[in-house]
Amino acid sequence: MKNKSRIFPVFAAFLGIVIFTLEGCGDQNAGGPPPLPEVSFVTVESRQVLMTTELPGRISAYRVAEVRPQVNGIIQKRLFTEGSEVKEGQALFQIDAALYQATFENAKAALARSEAQLSSVSLKEKRLKNLLDERAVSRQDYDDAAAALKQVQADIQYAKASLETARIHLQYTTIEAPVSGRIGKSSVTEGALVAAGQPLALATIQQLNPMYVDVTQSTTDIQRLRRQLQEGQLDQNGKNQQKVRLLLDDGTEYPLKGTLQFRDVTVDPSTGSVVLRIVFPNPKGILLPGMFVRAVVQEGINKQALLIPQQAVSRDPKGNPQTLVVTPDGKVEQRGITVDRAIGNDWLISSGLNAGERVIMEGALKIRPGLSVKAVPFNPKADKNNPAGPGSTESGGR
């Protein structure tokens, strides 16, 4: 009984201290309303933006020439190194020219014979013409001499044509490069029999500077672009409109810009797209035929573009884009928006927002539409130091 009488006063004293402490805490919390949740925002501003679009395509050579023989014969020599640069007119193959040389000499001799006859026949025709005027020869004799003269003149013309044909055939025994460029592998070796007009090319030459880039653009994008130009949403930038940037297959940007040459007028029925041809300089041979690339084509300048960071945009359960804005009276409003495209780390907004509105960047997890908030300007540097956002306790501080 004595121990119980001693424990009771101690327990009563401890209970009183706890009650006093709890009452003090309750009075402290009851001192005022809870603080407003803090969010950071960016102000939507309209600005001038160069609108571009990335289109896939492949590189093709500026010129492609297949080297084929124009006369029949045996290949005697190959006069180039495979994979080297060749110049227009450079000798590539030598065909055995003995037969063509003989034909050329024969045609030359035939011409000389005809020209030798011309002098005699011409003098005879002149003499008979004078005698005909004096009625010393018959008309028939003169007509025969005149006809013989015309025959010799015709023979000379025929001999000249035959000589020119023989000269051309003899010249064709040396197969020359039709264009300048890089030549590939040879499909024949010395001793091979080749024929004029054969389907197999002896070699292929490709001109690699400049180069063509053929990209495809859907007709939907073309119609959209035309509509925006007609409505005044885009302003094309004159000569700069034709300049095109190029992204290589590893993502790096090609250092030189190309020029848009033309847009095809025929739509591919299988893809619903048209081909755009762009010419790029290639002095260092970086671009090669067949490479997959992406061309950044300028569409025009949007002088009233509305951009907001991608961080400020979320999706509803149906996948529609939306964002949260702070109204002038400091309340949260959920707003459905229409996104046109991504430009860098921003979204281009085509509808749903107006210039001057405040879009919430951070603190969205602590709020809901209709709630009053304390809005502070978004600080990108502070965001890097404290990824959890304003008011978060995850940074380790108190």
pLDDT value of residue 2 = 45
Q: Read off the tokens for 36.
A: 């407003």
Split at pLDDT 50, 70, 90, the class of 17 is low
pLDDT value of residue 398 = 29
Contact between residue 103 and residue 166 where contact means Cβ atoms under 8 Å apart: yes
**DSSP code at position 235:** B
Contact between residue 42 and residue 359 where contact means Cβ atoms under 8 Å apart: yes
Domain ranges, ordered by start, for the chain: 38-49+305-384, 51-61+209-301, 69-96+173-200, 98-172
pLDDT value of residue 67 = 95
Judged against a pLDDT cut of 80, whether residue 214 lies above it is answered with yes
Name the average pLDDT for the chain. Answer: 83
Model pLDDT for residues 324-351, shown as the tens digit of each residue: 999 999 899 999 999 888 888 888 888 8
Model pLDDT for residues 379-397, shown as the tens digit of each residue: 877 555 544 444 433 333 3
Architecture of domain 98-172: Orthogonal Bundle (1.10)
372: Cβ contacts below 8 Å, ≥ 6 apart? 36, 330, 331, 332
Q: How far is CA 91 from the centre of its chain?
A: 35
Split at pLDDT 50, 70, 90, the class of 173 is very high
SS3 label, residue 48: strand
Split at pLDDT 50, 70, 90, the class of 206 is very high
Between 105 and 305, name the one with better pLDDT: 105
Report the alpha-carbon distance of residue 294 to residue 317 in Å, rounded.
Answer: 33
pLDDT value of residue 1 = 44
Report the alpha-carbon distance of residue 305 to residue 48 in Å, rounded.
Answer: 6
The answer to whether the bond into 178 is cis (omega within 30° of 0) is no
pLDDT value of residue 114 = 87
The pTM for the full model equals 0.66
pLDDT value of residue 337 = 92
pLDDT value of residue 34 = 79
Architecture of domain 51-61+209-301: Beta Barrel (2.40)
pLDDT value of residue 237 = 64
130: Cβ contacts below 8 Å, ≥ 6 apart? none
Contact between residue 153 and residue 69 where contact means Cβ atoms under 8 Å apart: no
Which alpha helices (DSSP H) does the chain contain, by range?
A: 2-29, 98-133, 139-172, 219-230, 380-385
Report the alpha-carbon distance of residue 320 to residue 311 in Å, rounded.
Answer: 15
173: Cβ contacts below 8 Å, ≥ 6 apart? 71, 73, 94, 95, 96, 97, 100
Mean pLDDT of 201-216: 93
Report the alpha-carbon distance of residue 332 to residue 325 in Å, rounded.
Answer: 6
Contact between residue 185 and residue 87 where contact means Cβ atoms under 8 Å apart: no
Judged against a pLDDT cut of 70, whether residue 5 lies above it is answered with no
Model pLDDT for residues 32-67, shown as the tens digit of each residue: 677 888 899 999 988 888 888 888 999 999 999 999
SS3 label, residue 72: coil
- Using a pLDDT cut of 90, give the percent of the chain over it: 43
Give the residues across from 263 on adjacent strands.
276
Report the alpha-carbon distance of residue 270 to residue 31 in Å, rounded.
Answer: 73
> Is the dihedral angle over the CA atoms 263, 264, 265, 271 positive or is it negative?
negative
Q: How far is CA 158 from CA 99, 164, 248, in A?
A: 21, 10, 60
Report the alpha-carbon distance of residue 219 to residue 289 in Å, rounded.
Answer: 26
Nearest CA-CA partner of 312 in 370, 357, 362, 351: 362
Report the alpha-carbon distance of residue 381 to residue 393 in Å, rounded.
Answer: 18
Does domain 38-49+305-384 match CATH 3.40.50.150? no
pLDDT value of residue 63 = 93
pLDDT value of residue 148 = 83
Judged against a pLDDT cut of 60, whether residue 215 lies above it is answered with yes
Judged against a pLDDT cut of 90, whether residue 77 lies above it is answered with yes
Split at pLDDT 50, 70, 90, the class of 305 is confident
Classify domain 69-96+173-200 by CATH number. 2.40.50.100
Judged against a pLDDT cut of 70, whether residue 27 lies above it is answered with no
pLDDT value of residue 394 = 37
